[in-house]
Chains A and B, each alone.
Chain A
Amino acid sequence: MPARQQKYIYPTIIAIALAVAPLFAPRYFISLLAIVFSWIILAVSWHFFCGSTKYISLGSAAFFGTGFYITALFGKSLPIFTVILLGGVISFLLSFCIGLVTLRLKGMYFAIFTYGLSELLKNTLIWLETVVWGTPGRFVVNLDIEFIYYIMLVLVFVVNAFFYLLRRTRFGYALKAIGESEDTAEHVGINTTIYKTIGFSLSSLFMGVVGSILVTRWTYVDPRMGFSGLYSFMPAIMTIFGGIESKYGPILGAVILSLLSEILLTGFKEYYMVILGAVLLFFVVLLPKGLYSILEKISQKFSQRGG
């Protein structure tokens, strides 16, 4: 069989298996997979902007939370696909405005500002809910878990394909050049401000979409859930754990860390944070290039032996 076709075998098998899984697998398993998918989308979106430009954003929760709360507010009065789309578009617009202002900050300052921003949004919403509207939280429309599963599955493929193709365009080259040397990028004619802002907004778009779908797993939500710091840190941690330099890194990191979190949360609830912290520390110190870098080395060894 030609190598070109062989390359597509495993992805096709996996895709088919995932597509028919809800017919056989228990509901718990389907629900778990839907969560894993949502983390993959968050990590891949984060990686698209932060991985190529090297601007580390800790504000993902702001955009996830925006989608999350759009559904909480309008989920019962509008058709669900309209709400999901709205969640994505509003996140896009919000991050566009924020990007224009904050993307002149570099390094640490950008990371701290984006984190502060998601906290600001969270606390503004809490204030609005409790003081102005007089409701500490909201009941959300409920979607069937199989429906969530299929949307997430489609989105995983759409997001990966979208960012993969985008990386190979003029636009993708511009973002990579900014990450390599922003000074030089400016001096060869790249309008760095506009490229950074649009790249940041595109990655936020999908975070908003994920938020607006995932919220339907709960029945009653408040702003603390959607704007939780977890959603700011996990996409970054997963990507760095998996390998920020590879396009597979965020997928690998998201799958392993979200499954690990699930196992730890169900089996060793008291030690969850301790064990997760220890695992992360171990990897950051010993494998700064991420898990993917070992896999690459191993596969190189095997192919050398085979050839």
Chain B
Amino acid sequence: MTTLLEGINVTKRFGGLIALNKVNFYIEEEEIVGLIGPNGSGKTTLFNVITGATPATSGTIKFLSKDITKLKPHEICRLGIGRTFQTPKPFPKMTVYENVLISALFGRQLNVKSSEIHDEIQELLEEFDLAEKASLLATNLTLSEQRRLEIIRALAAKPKILLLDETTAGLNPAETLQLVNLVRKVHKEMGVAIFMIEHNLRAIRELVSRVMVLNRGEKIAEGKPEEVARDSKVIEAYLGRSYA
């Protein structure tokens, strides 16, 4: 297997605060990797650094062996890295269909015929159970629907890897299960690699092959979900020393 995404000594400083400290990571093709850690540990910052929203202070990020550390978000998107936001950020006064259309129009490396795009979008909307809401304004969707829209929007750009930022936060158990199943299905059918931030380790335990744990900007553990769950450093980070 080839390495898709790789970070070497990735560091991000906000003034005096070190949000990420020499973090190393890699994602292989078609892999699903989880990223967990307590609040404020730098998970979303890592995503922002990868997608170019807030460029890294030092260190290197490579995508298919190409250095992408200094690229702009739109360039990174076109190379094949899609993302969702923790708080959904749709284009609120556009329809669900238009939200996806814009990503399909601008996010790809090659321009495609509009008739083909239409079919693809329709397929995605049906798969994610949003076909009936296609002509609604995005602002009128429920949280669970907006989360699904975020994923479809990212997928419409045909990414090779998808960064999911707490896709199940705030959803009830049934909605969480639905989303996890969708992610599994998308991964299987489209062969897209997935790097996902998640609080709910139980929800993704069967999904991911590997979990990375961040605490205060440093990587403290990495491995299979059950190994990480037993790791004393991880338990200490979440619950305090006396539990470790």
Give A residues with C-beta under 8 Å from B: 170, 173-174, 176-177, 180-181, 183-192
Contact = CB atoms under 8 A, between A and B. Distances in A.
Given A170-B105, A174-B106, A192-B74, A187 B90 contact: no
A52 to B, nearest CB: 11
Given A177-B102, A184-B153, 17 more contacts: A173-B101, A174-B106, A177-B94, A180-B93, A181-B89, A181-B90, A184-B89, A186-B74, A187-B53, A187-B83, A188-B103, A188-B107, A188-B154, A189-B74, A189-B103, A190-B106, A191-B74
Interface string B59-100: 000000000000011100110000101000111111000100
B72 A177 contact: no
Contacts of B72: 186, 191
Contact of B92 (A173, A174, A180, A183): A180
B73 A186 contact: yes
Contact of B51 (A173, A180, A187): A187
A191 B52 CA distance: 13
A189 to B, nearest CB: 4
Contacts of A174: 102, 106
A183 B53 contact: yes
Contacts of A181: 89-92
B108 interface: yes
Contacts of A184: 85, 89-91, 153
* Interface of chain A, main secondary structure: helix
Contacts of B83: 187
Nearest to A170: B105
Contact of B74 (A176, A180, A190): A190
B211 interface: no
20 contacts: A170-B106, A173-B101, A173-B102, A176-B91, A177-B91, A180-B92, A180-B94, A181-B89, A181-B91, A183-B85, A185-B91, A186-B74, A187-B73, A187-B74, A187-B77, A187-B83, A188-B77, A188-B106, A188-B157, A189-B107
B8 to A, nearest CB: 23
A183 B77 contact: no
Nearest to B83: A187
Contacts of A177: 91, 94, 102
Interface string B111-155: 000000000000000000000000000000000000000000110
A56 to B, nearest CB: 17
A13 B121 CA distance: 42
Most A-side CB within 10 Å, residue of B51, B73, B94: B73
Contact of B91 (A180, A186, A191): A180
